[in-house]
Structure 1
Amino acid sequence: MIARKFRLMKSEMKQNKHALVLMAPYFLIFLVFTVIPVLMSVVLSFTYFNMLQFPRWIGWSNYAHLFVQDDVFLIALKNTFLFAFITGPISYIACFLFAWLINELPPKLRAVLTLVLYAPSIAGNTYLIWQTLFSSDSYGYMNAFLIKWGFILEPIQWLQDPKYMLPILMVVQLWLSLGTSFLAFIAGLQNVDRTLYEAGAIDGIRNRWQELWFITLPAMRPQLMFGAVIQITSAFAVAEISIYMIGFPSVDYAAHTIVTHLIDYGTIRFQMGYASAIATILFAIMMGTNLITQKFLRKVGE
């Protein structure tokens, strides 16, 4: 059985040898700069490595320390899961809904609105806008509005109070979420074969929701999967907005995430073995979430 599969694979490789030759440079780059570093990180996670001495094998000690003794990591784990499970699905659905609505507009208006919605995800000074909005003094737009209308008597420390930090970061992340996934969904909607809708009308599809579920979404499975990967990655790998808006570290670690914990040990303390263990756990979480998402996406259109 194995020999037969091997012969079939060898036959297919001969038939597609030209395509394989063209794809070889990409696979080589992917292997060198992605696969090998990931494998090295997994191996280093079982060592003590401080960048000065040769890595020393310590087995599962890094992982045991993470889950048993590192209270800050547990806070970061909780914050990351809470952040991802709220912003991930909402941003994913929002990307598709905006793409679906914009796709129905005339081409020129569609191009303008696509640029307007996509712009925040590539702008470099977006944090300044939100920092001004949630400034802790009475000149901050949010405090000024609430004081003027009598909702509060004194300014709220939005970016210093632990109970406000994570919700604010979630709002900012949702505002920035119309990025690559949004563009992929628009491209997918543009490429759906229009004759499928005509065939669906003949087969009994009577409204737009049935068209969406039985035709549009199944025809967009590659884009849906790509968008899911992007949104899952951005939701679990949040760190930049926390560092720029809240500071590093945040008060009571209220905005601490797995990636900020990784940055702490990897780029500040240079405990690379411990940082590799954190990165491996994050990688495993992302992979597991992606596999679950794939199972859900396979049911689209059923």
Structure 2
Amino acid sequence: MELGTGSRRSVATPLRLLQNDNVVGYVFTAPFILGFLIFTLFPILSSLYYSFTEYNLMEAPRWIGTANYEKMFTEDDKLMKSFEVTFTYVFASVPLRLIFALMVAMLLNKAAAGIGVYRSAYYLPSLIGGSVAVSIMWVQIFGDKGLLNSMLGVVGIQTNTSWIGSPGTALWTLIALSVWQFGSSMLIFLAGLKNIPQSYYEAAGVDGANGIQRFFKITLPLLSPIILFNLIMQTISAFMTFTPAYIISRGEGGPLDNTLLYSLYLYRRAFVFFEMGYASAMAWVMLIIIGVITLAIFKSSVYWVHYESKGER
């Protein structure tokens, strides 16, 4: 029994669709598209809605308009403290991290025996740096009976200060932990340094330029696009820091709220006090702040980033 013309067309049409490059592309990208819609776009839009509601996870959200945002900037003193702590953390840790990363990258940008081992060793803290285990280790190092006080005792400085428990030094222990995780930035700087032609340094040496002059006239200008990339990525990462502050302060942001990073305070509002609407509003405020700072960095780059291929600044 032969198939009719209509039946043959119905069979041929799906086959033609499967042979279409666009359809094949959509099939392969479907997992990503669905994952983005379900696990990224939907939560983002949901949090935007919740930011205008009073929501405690137990009851249905109740629309309150902009009350959460008004409360943030008129009644919440702890929020202002978390802003102070977070901006201090970001503006101290990011420059120090990049400076150390560049210094180490320049030291490792040499052909020497075993240099790969040193590169791996310096990169290792970045692999494990944000983990709970490292944060616990940091507590042991900077506690009142920690490694740092023991080392100071060896050189005759006796102290029982808990560096993580003192209001004046607690935040700086977090900053030190951040700076210690400079490995990823170091590798990116190292790749950038290897792309700088050695002929530039040789020509500068012939002209009598010393090491400092070569660094500021050759290395920094040619490395400025890499610096821009690292600056943006590390700034965003610093604003999102959570685990070290949570572990070191036991989730409370102490002592005296001196380690109360914005992300930690947002977590407490959401999962300790169950104020999901307020926490959502906090998340959107932080998103706007990060966006504004990132945009400002991009806008400022025209004055200090040099692109050799296009001759642009």
TM-score (norm 1): 0.77
- Compute the displacement of 1:116 (Å): 0.8
- Compute the displacement of 1:160 (Å): 1.9
Q: 2:66 aligns with which of 60, 66, 70?
A: 60
CA contact (8 A) 1:76 1:256 kept: yes
Q: Give deviations 1:201-251, integer Å, cap 9, x for gaps.
A: 7xx99663322244x225xx2x44432232112221222112212322122
- Compute the displacement of 1:25 (Å): 5.5
Q: Structure 1: state its 5+ residue gaps.
A: 1-16
Q: Which residue of 1 aligns with 2:293?
A: 289
Q: Which residue of 2 aligns with 1:241?
A: 244
**Is 1:76 the counterpart of 2:79 in the alignment?**
no
Q: Which residue of 2 aligns with 1:212?
A: 219
User: What is the identity, as a one-letter code, of the residue corresponding to 2:299?
Assistant: K
Q: Aligned partners of 1:193, 1:99: CA distance in 2, in Å?
A: 13
User: What is the identity, as a one-letter code, of the residue corresponding to 1:239?
Assistant: F
- Compute the displacement of 1:51 (Å): 1.6
Trace 1:83-232 onto structure 2 (pairs within 5 A).
83-106=89-112, 109-123=114-128, 124=131, 125-137=133-145, 140-147=146-153, 149-152=155-158, 155-176=160-181, 178-190=182-194, 192=195, 194=197, 197=200, 208-209=214-215, 210-214=217-221, 216-217=222-223, 221=225, 223-232=226-235
Runs of 4+ more than 4 Å apart: 20-27, 29-32, 147-150, 195-198, 204-207
CA contact (8 A) 2:270 2:279 kept: yes
Q: Aligned partners of 1:81, 1:89: CA distance in 2, in Å?
A: 13
- Compute the displacement of 1:259 (Å): 0.5
Q: Aligned partners of 2:58, 2:143: CA distance in 1, in Å?
A: 42
Q: Aligned partners of 1:295, 1:205: CA distance in 2, in Å?
A: 35
- Compute the displacement of 1:114 (Å): 1.9
Q: Aligned partners of 1:94, 1:149: CA distance in 2, in Å?
A: 26
**Paired positions, count:** 273
- Compute the displacement of 1:22 (Å): 10
Q: Aligned partners of 2:255, 2:59: CA distance in 1, in Å?
A: 34
Q: Which residue of 2 aligns with 1:254?
A: 258
User: What is the identity, as a one-letter code, of the residue corresponding to 1:172?
Assistant: L
User: What is the identity, as a one-letter code, of the residue corresponding to 1:295?
Assistant: K
Alpha-carbon spacing, 1:54–1:122, altered in 2? closer, same or farther (3 Å): same
Q: Aligned partners of 1:54, 1:24: CA distance in 2, in Å?
A: 35
Q: Aligned partners of 2:156, 2:92: CA distance in 1, in Å?
A: 31
- Compute the displacement of 1:100 (Å): 3.5
Alpha-carbon spacing, 1:54–1:105, altered in 2? closer, same or farther (3 Å): farther
CA contact (8 A) 2:142 2:163 kept: yes
Q: Aligned partners of 1:30, 1:75: CA distance in 2, in Å?
A: 34
TM-score (norm 2): 0.74
Q: Aligned partners of 1:196, 1:263: CA distance in 2, in Å?
A: 52
User: What is the identity, as a one-letter code, of the residue corresponding to 1:294?
Assistant: F
- Compute the displacement of 1:197 (Å): 4.3
Structure having the higher Rg: 2
Q: Structure 2: state its 5+ residue gaps.
A: 1-21, 307-312
Alpha-carbon spacing, 1:289–1:271, altered in 2? closer, same or farther (3 Å): same
CA contact (8 A) 1:266 1:272 kept: yes
Alpha-carbon spacing, 1:69–1:134, altered in 2? closer, same or farther (3 Å): same
Q: Give deviations 1:259-295, integer Å, cap 9, x for gaps.
A: 0011112222222111111111111111111112212
Q: Aligned partners of 1:55, 1:205: CA distance in 2, in Å?
A: 71
